[in-house]
Amino acid sequence: MYKVKEVAETTGVSVRTLHHYDRIGLLKPEEVSSAGYRLYSDENLERLQQILVFKEMDFSLHEIKDIIDRPEFNRKENLKKHKELLLAKKKRLEEIIRTVEMTIDSIEGGYQMENKDMFKGFDMKEIEEHQKKYSEEAKGRYGKETVEKVEKRTAGYSSEDWGEIQNKTDEIYKRIMAGMDYGPEDPGVQRAVADWRRFITDHYYDCTLDIFRGLGDLYVDDPRFTKNIDKYQQGLAAFFKEAIHYYCDQQEK
Amino acid sequence: MYKVKEVAETTGVSVRTLHHYDRIGLLKPEEVSSAGYRLYSDENLERLQQILVFKEMDFSLHEIKDIIDRPEFNRKENLKKHKELLLAKKKRLEEIIRTVEMTIDSIEGGYQMENKDMFKGFDMKEIEEHQKKYSEEAKGRYGKETVEKVEKRTAGYSSEDWGEIQNKTDEIYKRIMAGMDYGPEDPGVQRAVADWRRFITDHYYDCTLDIFRGLGDLYVDDPRFTKNIDKYQQGLAAFFKEAIHYYCDQQEK
DNA sequence: GTAAACTATGACGCAGCGTCAAAGTCAATA
DNA sequence: TATTGACTTTGACGCTGCGTCATAGTTTAC
């Protein structure tokens, strides 16, 4: 049997915390001495360990009580729900990180950031910017129709969709990276490139070979993009561009 | 000039939060209409963005006020510094999520998770389990030495290391997935397999072909592993196994 | 037997809002 | 023009997970 201070010292929680856990019924000491002293058993300690574990997972004390006290059913349900919550948190964090990156880049590159973009992820910006630049260059080739189409499409995207996009981007980059030692014409790399193009087509606009080539150029010409891609690995942007060009050449034959 | 709801919706914070920030002087609206309506300017929005970034980094509102209001506050520098923090936080979140997932799996698979494992990533579990099973089967071939070696090595791994491992695992799975349409003998797939083996060798133990084959089997024989892998895509585990077998066959020739 | 170290129970405080409630405002419609 | 419905305001209380006194009883060591 251990008294409060002993428990506190060995587990790292404060005495006050133990009081609190007792009060709310989360961790009742096995015994109470005649003088009212809390006496904890080994089992109590084990339970405390459990509690601490779940606390690490960001559960509330109330939820922890549910999880530990109730049979498996509750536990699983709770965990699953909690996981959703954590994933949502993560997504938000990712968005913010991307925003921060954007902000830094915009300061460095002297770019102007519009308000509505300040709170969005990087990917939408990427697509929009490219679309804009391209449509300026290619003027009459596609009119405003294309641009407007894209805007309409992307406008309806939820944060879930953006999450998916982020995921796909990540996947593509990693696959490209994996082939960097084998040259841009490596079949694995080429498949990744093809998938990327299809993804753009599915989610934004018909990514013709011309446009695609332009996108590849953008990756090295625009420092903001280069930076973002090279975060994965030095030189990835350049390699990506090469791969895209090779892909386009092949397709045209 | 934007009214509260507009600001709330575009930034994701609640109206109440805006009220609160106003009250404590953290974010005062540029103007107040004759009717007492809060009207936010673009600069207000920028400031809000800053606030949110620092909040994500777990600064208190009070600290945030200090930081932002200090005249020598260098946006760019601060953003860069704190991006690191954000990334660290994301990593931690990811670890927590994995732990939660593990817990769910362990319940579903009927496995009991020991406390000591609860803080570790799935991968270590994977290796350990496999190592155990294998060393039981292959008894005298490797003695306890191998097992102990692994334990010693992995014991020293920091959470950063585990993060790296998780990243690599993720990468491999995605690369394998990308080749599922082309069969297990696809060169891209085979390279991913080879990378995986090398990774295991580098981080845990000498992954001989025998052991590697066994690991592949485990992916489909052990429902816990299967589940974890098939989360990426239905049938990935089976495909992975095939790919590993093919790889081993090739290596033996 | 006395001091030092430990224990108890209350009670208040804090952050960062969520969540009513009551009341005023604005724009569109009937 | 009057009314509706969407928005806005200012309180004020609640909540979590304890920290931090204050006051008072208990053990232990010497």
Domains and CATH numbers, chain A: 4-69 (1.10.1660.10), 92-252 (1.10.490.50)
Interface of B with A in 130-169 (CB under 8 A): none
Does the pLDDT at position B135 exceed 50? no
State the pairing for strand pair A38-39/B31-32: unpaired
Contact B100/A at CB under 8 A: yes
Q: Quick one: tokens of A195?
A: 């998938």
Classify residue B32 by its DSSP letter: E
How large is the average pLDDT for residues B90-99?
68
pLDDT of residue B104: 67
For residue B83, how many other CB atoms are within 10 A of its CB?
18
pLDDT of residue B190: 96
In chain A, which residues from 141 to 170 place their CB closer than 7 Å to nucleic acid strand C? Answer: none
Among the listed residues A134, A196, A143, the one whose alpha carbon sits nearest the alpha carbon of residue A165: A196
pLDDT of residue B27: 94
Question: What is the spatial distance between Cα B51 and Cα B69, in angstroms, rounded to a whole number?
Answer: 11
Run of H or E residues at B70: none
Inter-CA distances, A244 with A216, B109, B155, B183, Å:
6, 44, 43, 24
In chain A, which residues from 37 to 56 place their CB closer than 7 Å to nucleic acid strand C? Answer: 37-38
How large is the average pLDDT for residues B122-141?
36
pLDDT of residue B30: 94
pLDDT of residue A173: 84
pLDDT of residue A131: 38
- The list of chain A residues with pLDDT below 50 reads 111-163
Q: Integer distance in angstroms from CA A15 to C1' C6?
A: 12
Please state the ipTM of this predicted complex: 0.49
Determine what percent of chain B is predicted with pLDDT higher than 70.
57
For residue A107, how many other CB atoms are within 10 A of its CB?
14
pLDDT of residue A16: 95
Does the pLDDT at position B144 exceed 50? no
Backbone angles phi, psi at B210, to 5 degrees: -60, -50
Does the pLDDT at position B99 exceed 50? yes
pLDDT of residue A75: 61
pLDDT of residue A229: 77
Interface of A with B in 11-70 (CB under 8 A): 49-50, 53, 56-58
pLDDT of residue B224: 54
Q: At how many degrees (to 10) do helices B122-137 and B75-108 cross? A: 40
Does the pLDDT at position B248 exceed 90? yes
Does the pLDDT at position B206 exceed 60? yes
> Which residues are CB-neighbours of B213 under 8 A, at least 6 positions away?
B244, B245, B248
Top-ranked range on mean pLDDT: pick from A95-104, B2-11, B65-74, B225-234: B2-11
Among the listed residues A51, A214, A197, A148, the one whose alpha carbon sits nearest the alpha carbon of residue B118: A51
pLDDT of residue A93: 67
| Nearest CA-CA distance, residue A227 and chain B, Å | 14
Q: Integer distance in angstroms from CA A45 to C1' D27?
A: 23
pLDDT of residue B82: 63
What confidence tens digit (pLDDT) does each residue in B55-69 have?
876 778 887 887 787
pLDDT of residue A247: 95
pLDDT of residue B10: 86
